[in-house]
Amino acid sequence: MSRALVLSGADLAIVDLHRDEAAERAREIAEEFREIHPSHMVPKITAHYADVSSKTDVDDSLREILNKHDRITNLVSCAGFCENCDAVDLPPERIKRMLGVNLEGTYYVATGVARYLMGQNAPGNMVFIGSISGSIVNVPQPQAMYNASKAAIRHLAASLAVEWASKGIRVNCLSPGYMITEIAMKAKILIDNPGLKKEWETKIPQRRMGPPEELMGAVVFLSSDASRYITGEEIKVDGGYTVC
Ligand SMILES: NC(=O)c1ccc[n+]([C@@H]2O[C@H](COP(=O)([O-])OP(=O)(O)OC[C@H]3O[C@@H](n4cnc5c(N)ncnc54)[C@H](O)[C@@H]3O)[C@@H](O)[C@H]2O)c1
């Protein structure tokens, strides 16, 4: 999604728990832009640290971003994780961590950016990364708390869209289906269950998991004026999984 925004001409600030990895990704994205558009100036791409579950970290990272960039116009809130665990066994500290990152994290970055935009009297645009798990229950893996956190993200986007519409701030939710990311392929659940990927794919009408590149179009669409009259909506990118 970061690549998609930069290739569309946007400057970018990546905020992540792992600043070095974010910085490495920033370098790769700049390099890709240079190869594709050799005669264009490379957009400004910076990397920043925050544990998004901490309001202090988020506010510090926004200050740092504004020291390096002229302004903030858009937000994509993506940090999140899933944990497969029987509901009766999930310890309270893991529940707090999951809601802290997946839900509170999005709340802190969204309200932090909204506060800034309102202070500038400027319009803005936000995309929250939800999941189809916010609408359906994935099987067979147990992940009740993750599903609940993603359902909350969808409704948070709708609620903030209504609250901030008069300020010119749009908020939408982009919900991926089963994506075949590097980390997803190393997930314990797939290593422990070698037939699981096939099982998921038989339930997807397109019969395949999606590469992350297939989120590029939707994130650019929702982040741009092409979707100017869309707010509070959810777009699912899932190969048709949730329609059957
Ligand atoms: N992979 C999928 O199939 C899939 C499907 C639906 C939704 N999603 C959602 O997409 C988002 C990204 O998932 P992914 O599969 O790319 O996972 P990932 O683990 O590859 O990426 C998550 C990123 O968030 C960062 N992060 C984690 N906790 C953080 C914190 N507390 N503060 C700041 N950064 C933090 C990680 O360092 C990492 O860079 C998540 O919100 C996930 O729920 C993924």
**Domain co-membership, 186 together with 206:** yes
* Pocket-forming residues, ligand 1, beta carbon under 6 Å: 16-18, 50-53, 78-82, 101, 105, 129, 131, 176, 178-179, 181, 183-184
Overall pTM > 0.85: yes
Query: How many residues appear in the chain?
Result: 244
User: To test the ligand 1 pocket, which listed residue (57, 78, 137, 138) has its Cβ within 8 A of the most ligand atoms?
Assistant: 78
Cα–ligand 1 centroid distance for 51 (angstroms): 12
**Domain co-membership, 15 together with 76:** no
pLDDT tens for the chain, 244 residues: list them.
999 999 999 999 999 999 999 999 999 999 999 999 999 999 999 999 999 999 999 999 999 999 999 999 999 999 999 999 999 999 999 999 999 999 999 999 999 999 999 999 999 999 999 999 999 999 999 999 999 999 999 999 999 999 999 999 999 999 999 999 888 888 888 888 889 999 999 999 999 999 999 999 999 999 999 999 999 999 999 999 999 9
| Cα 244 from Cα 166, distance rounded (Å) | 36
The amino acid occupying position 154 is R
**Domain co-membership, 44 together with 101:** no
Closest to 85 (Cα-Cα) out of 146, 169, 163: 146
**Vertex 166 angle, CA 165 and 172, to 5°:** 10
Report how many domains make up the chain.
2
- Phi and psi at residue 122, in whole multiples of 5°? -110, 145
From the CA of 176, give the closest atom in ligand 1. 6
**Domain co-membership, 45 together with 144:** no
| Cα 21 from Cα 17, distance rounded (Å) | 9
